Structure 1
Amino acid sequence: MKNRIKTKMIKILSGNRATRLTVQVADTQRKREKGLMFVGKLPENEGMLFVFSEKIYGGFWMKDTFIPLSIAFLDSDGKILKILDMVPCKEEKCPIYNPGLFYRYAIEVNLGWFEKNQIKEGDYVKLD
């Protein structure tokens, strides 16, 4: 069962509000590479948390991803540095969604979820 993906509840702090989100934790290379590929539907308040062992620079792509997503890139303290919207890609060459900065975590959710919940760059995610 070592490849089974675990889930956890996180809180996103925006002003005086705390928004809960249930995330699948992608904390291995294999889980990060698969991400939300081939997922047909993502429940409203669920997403995926990508955990990297150190800060990285680079982006995500949407190859074989069937649903449009929004992604937040976070620093080591859980601060949201950048939020981008991403669309599915069925082609061989898919665009890379790069925040243009180093980050330690990323969270993918349904397209527009951050905006709908008034979550913005500069807000914090409580990961523990």
Structure 2
Amino acid sequence: MTFSAFLVALCTHSLRRTGVLCLAALAFIASAQPSPQLQLPRTKLNAGMHVLDVQLAQTPEQRQTGLMWRKDMPQHEGMLFVFEQPATQCFWMRNTLIPLSAAFVADDGTIVNIADMKPQSDDSHCSEKPVRYVLEMNVGWFAKRQLKAGYKLGGPAFTR
């Protein structure tokens, strides 16, 4: 039993005697639950006729949290991870609740490789060569549109 579950059970059982304390404990639990990043800056990308609305994860903290705790994501949305310089980028899915596909993308928008990733997994998925960008979309998004390594994405992020 988790500590949160224990507090809920205790409060439910003894609410008459310790109501205020239990309400404070339950409020603390609710505020301590992690929440997804939904307020990051956004940009538009295109893959041929497909227009994507993507959040930009640009700082180390934003990149570390990524799409964790999201319960769903619209099909035309994703997250573009922006790094300071090209390097071999490796991603895992700890605390990520939805299956994702990650496209490892070169400076000019060319997809280097794509990896399908399972939710809540520590399996590492890496770029096949140094990249500055990683675009995460719902799993299968790239495959459904027949986008593979070598395809060039467009958008302001790739016109540095």
**Residue 38 of structure 1 corresponds to which residue in structure 2?**
69
The one-letter amino acid of 2:74's match is P
Structure 1 residues 9 and 58: CA distance shift in structure 2, 3 A: closer
The match for 2:46 is 11
CA distance in 1, matches of 2:83, 2:154: 16
Structure number having the greater helix percentage: 2
Q: Deviations over 1:11-53 (max 9, x none)?
A: 12xxxx3321110000111110000000000101100000111
Please say if residues 90 and 125 of structure 2, whose CA atoms lie closer than 8 Å, have aligned partners that are also in contact. yes
Instruction: Give a deviation string over 1:36-71, Cα, whole Å, max 9, x none.
Output: 000000101100000111001130010000000000
Opposite residue 132 of structure 2, the aligned amino acid is: R
- Name the SS of the counterpart of 1:37 in structure 2: coil
Instruction: Give the equivalent residue in structure 1 for 2:56.
Output: 25
The match for 1:97 is: 125
- The one-letter amino acid paired with 2:79 is M
Q: CA RMSD in A?
A: 1.5
Q: Which residue in the other structure is 1:53 paired with? A: 84
Q: Deviations over 1:91-125 (max 9, x none)?
A: xxx11111232111010000000111221111111
The letter for the 1-side match of 2:103 is A
The alignment covers a number of residue pairs equal to 119
Q: Distance in 2 between matches of 1:113 and 1:54?
A: 26
Is 1:114 aligned to residue 142 of structure 2? Answer: yes
Partner of 2:18: none
| Corresponding residue of 2:19 | none
Q: What TM-score, normalized by structure 2, do the two folds share?
A: 0.70
Tell me, which stretches of 5 or more residues in structure 2 are unaligned?
1-38
